[in-house]
Amino acid sequence: MRTTFHRGGEHRPLRAGRCLLAAVAAWAWAAPVAAQQPQRETESAGPVKELAQESVQELVTVTATRRPFDIADISAPATVISGATLRSRPAVGLDEALRWTAGFSLLRRTPGRAAHPTTQGLNLRGVAPSGTSRALVLVDGMPLTDAFGGWVYWSRVPAIVIDTVEIVPGGASSTYGNQSLAGTVQIVTSPPPSQLRAQVQGAAGGLDTWRAAATLGGPFAGAHALAAVELFDTGGYIATAGKVAGTVDDEVASQHQSGWLAIDLGPGLRAGGSALRETRANGTPEQTNSTRAWGVHSHWNPGSTHSGGRIGAAYRWQDFRSRFSSIATDRNSERAVLDQRVRSSEVVLGAQGWRAVNEQLTLAAGGDWRRVDGTSLEHVLSIGLRREPGGAQSIGGGYGAAQWRLGDELFVEGAARLDRWHNRPREGGVARSLTALSPRIGMAWHPRREWTLRASAYRSFRAPTLNELYRQFRVGDIITRANPELTHERLTGVEAGVEYSDRIGSGNLRARLHGYTNRLADGVINATVGGAGALTFRQRANLGRATIRGAELDLDASWAHWTLSASTVWIDSRIDEDQPGAASTVIGNRLPQVPGHRARLAALWQNGRWAADLSVQTTGAQFEDDRNERRLGTAVTLDTGLRVEVSEDWHLGLMAQNLLDRRLEVARTPVLALGPPRTLMLRVGWNPVRRTGHRGTVSDGNR
């Protein structure tokens, strides 16, 4: 199959090699990665051996908490996943691999390869009543979450360079400020190797989907560098359900090319850059979108776990285009109604430090500043109207934190941060500012070696994005208007949990149960305000209040050749108070796009060079809209994979997603849209290892 985008009478074939990636270079100050992980070779024990090492381990450092912490001493239930584990899972993209963590999801059930970028907002613990992320995504300590819209381009970092991903749920504004309303996700990339090394990975299969990635690294001009490139193309599938589809319906398809560069200039000093080009077809000839983006970043991170600091800076530029259409009732014709082009840029500066005063007390302090400028050039084709809404935002703040170690059993942490947000509109309007205080206190108690008890309380916030304030959009027959009067969201939460981890015979066992209650005030929601004919009108609005309660259970057991894992999360999200002036009540309704439960059961078998896994995931029913009138049914999928090390340098694999080809309801706009059907792919990887008698070790899996 050959997928073609149609726009303005021009036919443009979707070929992954159509354009060259822009070269990226960086000049800079410094590298947090040097302190986040010790310098080491990017050697691998091979995908099969890495999978076999997914077991209960204690010496794991988490950096998504602003400074290095032992995972056992964090008051939040952190999860650390190795990059090799993510790449081995039966998943096409990074977001699909991360969904193996039950509390992790995006706004919709659709994976990033088949979803409009504006719906790829990260949802942790059900705190996401719209497409904007309520959790902050970082890469090597710098924000990856889009500053203009709050969504995440998961393809921006080639998966081949990911060393680990850390997921820390719970309000994190006390150290990170804005966008970390419900937690943080940190992507840590591999450091440049000290000797010349190369890797190649590829995959191809169903839905005309293929991926190719490569890295090259080693000494360069007195420094050490690592460069990576990833190419991806999928012909996609027709998402419109069954007999509803008409002649206008086409595949949802996408392609991207991304590049990554990291240069270690000296002890603790790193500079780098990234580039992304992405193009999508959104189900009809007229509905397309594309993104071009590039950025540079630099970090300096001297010191160690006990005493150190970090200084960083980044600049990113982005050009996002999207076209929307009106489709006839019989879905046999359409006409373009809105053409948008969003240009944005952002600057990020930050510095922090930490010091162990003595064996019992560690202090930390820091601050950061982020500015984004963005304009949405909109052409309303139906009436010939042109407008350019947008604005500039700056937000900065400082924090202080302390951790007390009381004996060998109890760790107590406290932090508080003060932020100042300022928004200046481009077209008239009044500039606005706000100040937010975000405190947090927590503890981790180890009454016995095998047991850990955790508890924390926090208050966090998120300021509205330029996208929510100024950009309108259309999905099917739903038109959503912006709202320049939005105020900031506040989340107040408490949580507590228990974890048991020990060796049992020749195997390992870990069990974790965690519960939480969050109160969301002034949450930004796409509120239904009326309709005309087949059209539904919505507007972004601040809800009064909503309560989100949940419980998370994780079980992992490994022995001999087997690893079994189960995870589930129960969520009860209810609206307690309407937005002011609401046309109809939504009190008692569930937050849109938040299911009642998610669960996964997985088994991994490994023997010598062979490994196989099988997993079943279920997602409970959820609602498309705030009025709870458009229901999406329960989704169940079966995924599996098989891997073999052909030699020390080569491995092969076969993966299947949605093996039973189950129907997955992902949207009602009001036409029902479905998720990807069964997808089979063959994988191959080449990762030559120096013959020194030591193949490297892996100290992290899914924990």
Give the tens place of pLDDT for each residue, 374-389: 999 999 998 899 999 9
For the chain, the distance separating the N- and C-terminal CA atoms, rounded to the nearest angstrom, is 41
Q: Is the pLDDT of residue 661 over 70?
A: yes
For position 348, what pLDDT does the model report? 97
Q: Is the pLDDT of residue 591 over 70?
A: yes
For position 583, what pLDDT does the model report? 64
Can you spell out the DSSP letters for 625-675? STTS-SEE--EEEEEEEEEEESSSSEEEEEEEESTT----EEEESSSEEE-
Instruction: Give the ranges where 453-567 is alpha helix by DSSP (H).
Output: 466-470
607 confidence band (pLDDT: 50, 70, 90): very high
**How far is CA 457 from its chain centroid?**
24
- Of 74-78, 101-105, 270-274, minimum mean pLDDT range: 101-105
Average per-residue pLDDT for the chain: 87
For position 130, what pLDDT does the model report? 85
395 confidence band (pLDDT: 50, 70, 90): very high
For position 183, what pLDDT does the model report? 93
Query: Is the pLDDT higher at 58 or at 120?
Result: 120
Q: Do residues 377 and 340 touch, judged by C-beta distance below 8 A?
A: yes
Q: Is the pLDDT of residue 411 over 90?
A: yes
15 confidence band (pLDDT: 50, 70, 90): very low
Domain count, the chain: 1
Q: Is the pLDDT of residue 614 over 50?
A: yes
CB-CB neighbours of 150 under 10 Å: 27
For position 110, what pLDDT does the model report? 87
Helix H or strand E segment including 458: strand 451-462
Q: Please choose, from the candidates 186, 145, 192, the residue with its C-alpha nearest in 3D space to the C-alpha of residue 60.
A: 186
304 confidence band (pLDDT: 50, 70, 90): low
Q: Is 435 exposed, middle or buried (0-12, 13-18, 19+ CB in 10 A)?
A: exposed
What's the average model confidence in pLDDT over 12-30? 32
What's the average model confidence in pLDDT over 404-415? 92
Residue 301 sits in which domain range? 28-686
Q: Do residues 324 and 341 touch, judged by C-beta distance below 8 A?
A: no
CB-CB neighbours of 577 under 10 Å: 16
Q: Is the pLDDT of residue 20 over 80?
A: no
For position 62, what pLDDT does the model report? 79
Question: How far, in Å, CA of 163 to CA of 531, rounded?
Answer: 49
Q: Do residues 171 and 460 touch, judged by C-beta distance below 8 A?
A: yes
Q: Is the pLDDT of residue 29 over 50?
A: no
48 confidence band (pLDDT: 50, 70, 90): low
For position 64, what pLDDT does the model report? 77
Residue 702 lies in a domain: no
Question: How far, in Å, CA of 488 to CA of 518, rounded?
Answer: 16
235 confidence band (pLDDT: 50, 70, 90): very high
Question: How far, in Å, CA of 287 to CA of 476, rounded?
Answer: 10
Query: Identity (one letter) of the amino acid at 376?
Result: S
**Tokens found for residue 472:** 């309108």
- Of 87-96, 98-107, 207-216, 476-485, minimum mean pLDDT range: 98-107
> In angstroms, how far apart are the furthest CA atoms of the chain?
73
Can you spell out the DSSP letters for 276-338? EEEEEEESSSS-EEEEEEEEEEEEE--B-SSEEEEEEEEEEEEEEEEEEEEE-TTSS-EEEEE
695 confidence band (pLDDT: 50, 70, 90): very low
What's the average model confidence in pLDDT over 179-184? 93
Q: Is the pLDDT of residue 269 over 60?
A: yes
Question: How far, in Å, CA of 570 to CA of 574, rounded?
Answer: 13
Q: Is the pLDDT of residue 26 over 70?
A: no
* Residues ≥6 apart with Cβ < 8 Å to 178: 370, 395, 419, 421, 461, 462, 463
Q: Which residue has the tokens 């790193």?
A: 270
Torsion sign (Cα): 147, 150, 155, 161: positive
Give the tens place of pLDDT for each residue, 454-463: 999 999 999 9
Q: Do residues 4 and 112 touch, judged by C-beta distance below 8 A?
A: no
**Tokens found for residue 342:** 């969003």
Bridge partner residues of 559 (DSSP): 562
Q: Are strands 535-542 and 478-481 parallel, antiparallel or unpaired?
A: parallel
Q: Which residue has the tokens 């051996």?
A: 49
Q: Is 230 exposed, middle or buried (0-12, 13-18, 19+ CB in 10 A)?
A: buried
pTM: predicted TM-score of the whole model, two decimal places: 0.89
- Of 317-326, 376-385, 410-419, 678-687, minimum mean pLDDT range: 376-385
* Residues ≥6 apart with Cβ < 8 Å to 177: 368, 395, 397, 399, 417, 419, 436, 438
Residue 10 lies in a domain: no
Give the tens place of pLDDT for each residue, 429-482: 789 999 999 999 999 999 998 999 999 999 999 999 999 999 998 888 889 999
CB-CB neighbours of 699 under 10 Å: 12
What's the average model confidence in pLDDT over 608-630? 93
Residue 450 lies in a domain: yes
Question: How far, in Å, CA of 121 to CA of 128, rounded?
Answer: 8
Q: Is the pLDDT of residue 176 over 80?
A: yes
305 confidence band (pLDDT: 50, 70, 90): low
User: C-alpha distances in angstroms, 176 versus 78, 134, 419, 551?
Assistant: 16, 12, 10, 25
6 confidence band (pLDDT: 50, 70, 90): very low
Residue 12 lies in a domain: no
Residue 143 lies in a domain: yes
What's the average model confidence in pLDDT over 311-332? 95
What's the average model confidence in pLDDT over 204-233? 96
Residue 472 lies in a domain: yes
Query: Identity (one letter) of the amino acid at 38?
Result: P
For position 30, what pLDDT does the model report? 30
CATH value at residue 231: 2.40.170.20
Q: Is the pLDDT of residue 578 over 80?
A: yes
Residue 552 lies in a domain: yes
Q: Do residues 32 and 63 touch, judged by C-beta distance below 8 A?
A: yes
Residue 4 lies in a domain: no
Q: Is the pLDDT of residue 43 over 50?
A: no
- Of 70-79, 279-288, 364-373, 599-608, minimum mean pLDDT range: 70-79
